[in-house]
């Protein structure tokens, strides 16, 4: 893992711009606490912050390949290529020699051997830039599922790029500006591929390559989900999924630094923890270390609600005892969640207000604690999107909804189909009219549906569920992936996501919905594929989202902070609010409406202040 950045300018000499590249890279020191580097050429500069995971001593970056005193290729690279050993052996047989054991060097030689098509051979999570001095061109590459972030900002004579927006915003020619389209994207929760919120900035779309040449920028898709006929019977399907998971987890345990798993006690993280423990035991390297987040007094005083029926802690402990993992609960309280240092760190990590306040802060504090003993963690993220875990996959009304299913009204919240969502409830009515968030969502939904690959003759529920699965694997999954990447890297922790292996994603995507729900429950295939590894209580546990603190003092603390913002004449967010609506939230809102609404407004105010944002609305 790492933070990467760079600048290509065909009309100026960048060899004197070391200070600018170093400043851009410095914004991501948390992504790479172990080392830094800058490489400069006449028209290109690359910056790097390194988190050492593979070949700790030899993997310094930016890294180049030289022959005869001439630089052939140089890269600034983030992520992991899990099949680097096989590729290294293949390249060595073709005559390539290596001076390090890093996967970064394998990527360089793969490009030299196979050209730009080499990306189709990679298995992993990665985002990197390759500068070819011979052709004077840059490639920006992002992994198939978009696990690793990569942003770019086209200029009149080239491009700026970085793992995070803050690296680009650190360039003296870029301002933090957001227009109506950017603000609508922030509010709409549609996760439009390529949209970066900030004016002029874009995100490299998952599975794409951006090529930068003197004559301009072009993009190429090298991977996408395809509709293929699924011919395996149920038993074969379950066996195939298990075989893939065995291989994926084994590959993702490759690290030269301490490693652990994230364990919530749900099916997804429990399966990964059990698989990792079994493989480490086979290697003689166990037991696996596992970590979970909990809140003070929550297990003893838990109150079920419409969203969460059970606390996580008992199930996490049951799995840990079942497999024999070295388990630790990270217990937090309201004071920790409201501490300004954690909230500031989250905003700096995210570069945007998210409205996920306590969820993001608790995740940050969890990762911070894990980082004291581990550098890499395996996560169960993306299993819900892949196997159909969310409740809206199984709600006939939400399945029939002609919008993104996660935006349909559910439980006690408002949503796209009725009253304003909690994120919009305190915003000025005139502003909302200008933004037209419902119209923005509708346009993005039409675009998303147009991308769905289909099988000839596919109709009815199977056709609709293919659409819903595609929406989740191309849009919704980006929410948890971005959240996990940004917050983990803010602590210098690399989180790997086995369920995002493109082989597994492609296979499960094409498995019929009737097979995905063959036992009448969510995630039927995953449960069947891993049941032998799990205690019955965990295997049969119903889906429960990421935990939320059940402490009324947290809600009161939010009310107090919201009152303070409304009373502050210098608060920049006040110009965007309906003060009467905000007062009503303070007076009477509770639960999700209070938390999401308040945390979004508070985050919006912090963001406008700290990033000196210009709103062109």
Give residue-wise pLDDT tens across range 262-284.
999 999 999 999 999 999 999 99
Q: Which residue carries 């079920």 as its tokens? A: 304
- Identify whether the C-beta of residue 279 lies closer than 8 Å to the C-beta of residue 250: yes
Token pair belonging to 81:
């290529």
Among candidate residues 568, 538, 71, the one with its CA nearest the CA of residue 320: 538
Contacts of 328 by beta carbon, 8 Å cutoff, 6+ apart = 289, 290, 291, 292
pLDDT at 412: 43
**pLDDT band, very low/low/confident/very high, at 592 (cuts 50, 70, 90):** confident
**Pairing relationship of beta strands 177-179 and 614-616 according to DSSP bridges:** parallel
Token pair belonging to 225:
């989900």
Using the predicted structure, report yes or no on whether residue 229 has a pLDDT greater than 60: yes
428 SS3 class: coil
Specify whether 2 is catalytic.
yes
CA distance 349 to 345: 6
208 SS3 class: strand
Q: pLDDT exceeding 90 applies to what percent of the chain?
A: 90
**Mean of the per-residue pLDDT values of the chain:** 95
* Mean pLDDT of the 130-140 span: 97
Helices (H), 401-551: 429-435, 437-450, 460-471, 478-489, 502-509, 513-516, 524-530, 536-539
For residue 97, the tally of other CB atoms under 10 A from its CB is 7
**Consecutive H or E run containing 235:** helix 234-252
CA distance 463 to 445: 16
pLDDT at 410: 57
What does the pLDDT look like over 10-64, one tens digit per residue? 999 999 999 999 999 999 999 988 889 999 999 999 999 988 887 777 788 999 9
- Identify whether the C-beta of residue 84 lies closer than 8 Å to the C-beta of residue 103: yes
Q: Which residue carries 């909690």 as its tokens? A: 422
pLDDT at 416: 44
The C-alpha angle with vertex 499 and arms to 468 and 365, in degrees rounded to 5, equals 105
Using the predicted structure, report yes or no on whether residue 602 has a pLDDT greater than 60: yes
**Pairing relationship of beta strands 158-162 and 2-9 according to DSSP bridges:** antiparallel
Q: Which of 2, 30, 260, 469 is catalytic?
A: 2
Entry pTM: 0.96
Tell me, rounded to whole angstroms, the distance of Cα 407 from its chain centroid. 19
pLDDT at 59: 80
What does the pLDDT look like over 59-116, one tens digit per residue? 889 999 998 889 999 999 999 999 999 999 999 999 999 999 999 999 999 999 999 9
- Identify whether the C-beta of residue 165 lies closer than 8 Å to the C-beta of residue 351: yes
Among candidate residues 124, 117, 120, 118, the one with its CA nearest the CA of residue 102: 124
Q: Is the omega angle on the peptide bond into residue 423 within 30 degrees of 0, that is, cis?
A: no
pLDDT at 415: 46
Running DSSP on this structure, what letter comes out for residue 541? P
**pLDDT band, very low/low/confident/very high, at 413 (cuts 50, 70, 90):** very low
Using the predicted structure, report yes or no on whether residue 181 has a pLDDT greater than 90: yes
- Identify whether the C-beta of residue 407 lies closer than 8 Å to the C-beta of residue 528: no
Running DSSP on this structure, what letter comes out for residue 592? H
Using the predicted structure, report yes or no on whether residue 456 has a pLDDT greater than 60: yes
**pLDDT band, very low/low/confident/very high, at 335 (cuts 50, 70, 90):** very high
Helices (H), 18-83: 18-26
Residue 596 to residues 425, 566, 603, Cα–Cα distance (Å) = 10, 17, 10
């Amino acid at each position: 893992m790492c933070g990467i950045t760079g600048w290509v300018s065909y009309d100026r000499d960048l060899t004197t711009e070391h200070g600018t590249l170093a400043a851009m890279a410095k914004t991501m020191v948390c992504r790479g606490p172990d080392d830094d580097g800058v490489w400069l050429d006449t028209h290109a500069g690359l910056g790097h912050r390194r988190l050492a995971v593979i070949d700790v001593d030899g993997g310094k970056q930016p890294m180049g390949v030289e022959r005869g005193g001439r630089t052939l290729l140089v890269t600034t690279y983030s992520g992991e290529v899990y099949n680097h050993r096989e590729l290294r052996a293949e390249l060595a047989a073709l005559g390539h020699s290596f001076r390090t054991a890093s996967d970064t060097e394998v990527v360089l030689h793969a490009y030299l051997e196979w050209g730009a098509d080499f990306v189709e051979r990679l298995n992993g999570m990665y985002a990197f830039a390759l500068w070819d001095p011979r052709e004077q061109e840059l490639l920006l590459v992002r992994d198939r599922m978009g696990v690793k972030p990569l942003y770019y900002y086209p200029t009149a004579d080239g491009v700026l790029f970085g793992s995070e927006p803050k690296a680009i915003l650190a360039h003296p020619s870029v301002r933090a500006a957001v227009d109506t389209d950017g603000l609508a994207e922030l509010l709409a929760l549609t996760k439009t591929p390529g949209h970066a919120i900030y004016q002029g900035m874009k995100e490299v779309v998952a599975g794409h390559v951006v090529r930068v040449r003197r004559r301009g920028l072009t993009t190429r898709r090298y991977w996408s989900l395809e509709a293929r006929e699924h011919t395996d019977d149920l038993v074969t399907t379950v066996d195939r999924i298990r075989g893939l998971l065995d291989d994926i987890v084994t590959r993702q345990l490759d690290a030269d630094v301490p490693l652990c798993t994230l364990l919530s006690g749900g099916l997804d993280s429990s399966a990964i923890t059990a698989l990792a423990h079994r493989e480490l035991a086979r290697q003689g390297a166990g037991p696996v270390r596992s970590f979970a987040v909990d809140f003070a007094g929550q297990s003893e005083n838990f109150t079920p609600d419409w969203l969460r029926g059970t606390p996580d802690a008992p199930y996490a402990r049951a799995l840990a005892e079942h497999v024999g993992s070295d388990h630790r609960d990270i217990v937090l309280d309201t004071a920790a969640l409201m501490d300004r240092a954690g909230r500031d760190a989250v905003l700096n990590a995210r570069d945007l207000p998210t409205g996920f306040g306590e969820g993001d802060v608790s995740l940050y504090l969890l990762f911070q604690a894990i980082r004291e003993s581990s550098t890499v963690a395996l996560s169960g993220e993306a299993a819900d999107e892949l196997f159909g875990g969310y409740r809206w996959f199984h709600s006939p009304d939400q399945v029939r909804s002609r919008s993104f299913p996660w935006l349909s009204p559910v439980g006690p919240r408002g949503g796209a189909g009725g009253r304003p969502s909690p994120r919009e409830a305190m915003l000025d009515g005139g502003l909302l009219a200008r933004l037209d968030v419902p119209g923005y969502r509708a346009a993005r939904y039409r675009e998303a549906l147009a991308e769905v690959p289909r099988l000839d003759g596919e109709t009815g529920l199977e056709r609709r569920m293919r659409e819903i699965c595609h929406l989740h694997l191309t849009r919704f999954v980006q929410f948890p992936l971005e959240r996990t990447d940004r917050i983990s890297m803010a602590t210098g922790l690399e989180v790997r996501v086995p369920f995002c292996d493109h082989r597994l994603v492609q296979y499960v995507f094409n498995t019929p919905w009737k097979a995905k729900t063959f036992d009448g429950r969510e995630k039927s295939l995953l449960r069947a594929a891993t049941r032998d590894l799990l205690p019955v209580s965990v295997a049969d546990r119903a889906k429960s989202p990421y935990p939320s603190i059940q402490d009324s003092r947290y809600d009161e603390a939010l009310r107090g902070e919201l009152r303070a913002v409304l009373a502050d004449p210098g608060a920049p967010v006040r110009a965007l609010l309906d003060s009467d609506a905000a007062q009503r939230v303070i007076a009477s809102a509770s639960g999700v409406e209070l938390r999401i609404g308040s945390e979004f407004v508070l985050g919006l105010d912090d963001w406008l202040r700290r990033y000196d944002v210009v709103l062109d609305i």
